[in-house]
Amino acid sequence: MLWVKSFHIIFVVSWFAGLFYLPRIFVNLAMVPVDAGAERERLLLMAGKLYRFVSPIGVLAIIFGLWLWFGYGFAGDWLHAKTALVALLVVYHLWCGELLKRFSAGENPRNHVWFRFFNEVPVLALAAIVILAVLKPF
């Protein structure tokens, strides 16, 4: 099970790297006019590649997390809270995909300030998830 735990941690760290950086690209996209040409296309290319790269990594993080859950038989309210936060992260990830589609279509759904706050969601989720998993407070 230590191999499973190791792969879970590797995939979680990798998924979060994408969840931290993709909305940061959105901040830059929100500041670039639609007719910016090469700069906008480069940002869209980066965002698209990053989203396609981290999506299967997120799936693997969840698969290895479930393997740990069922392998160790963890129980407790802390696990329910952690699972709820992971579910919200999946929604956040899918929302990023929708935002990317809108940017690609030439729509700028929000301003850069909104995306700066949006960018902080995975940071807060990570902090809460780590505290829940390590301290098991309830």
- Least Cα distance to 92 among 63, 62, 125 occurs for 125
Q: Which pairs count as long-range contacts for 115-121, CB under 8 Å and 24+ apart, including other chains?
A: 115/23, 115/26, 115/27, 115/30, 116/27, 118/23, 118/26, 119/20, 119/23, 119/24, 119/26, 119/27, 121/23, 121/92
Q: Running DSSP on this structure, what letter comes out for residue 76?
A: S
Q: Which two tokens stand for residue 30?
A: 């929100």
The per-residue pLDDT for 23 is: 98
The per-residue pLDDT for 105 is: 95
Per-residue pLDDT of the chain (138 residues; tens, 9 = 90+): 999 999 999 999 999 999 999 999 999 999 999 888 999 999 999 999 999 999 999 999 999 999 999 988 878 899 999 999 999 999 999 999 999 999 999 998 799 999 999 999 999 999 999 999 999 999
- Least Cα distance to 48 among 121, 104, 122 occurs for 104
The per-residue pLDDT for 73 is: 81
Sign of CA pseudo-dihedral 56, 5, 81, 71? positive
106 in Cβ contact with 36 (< 8 Å): no
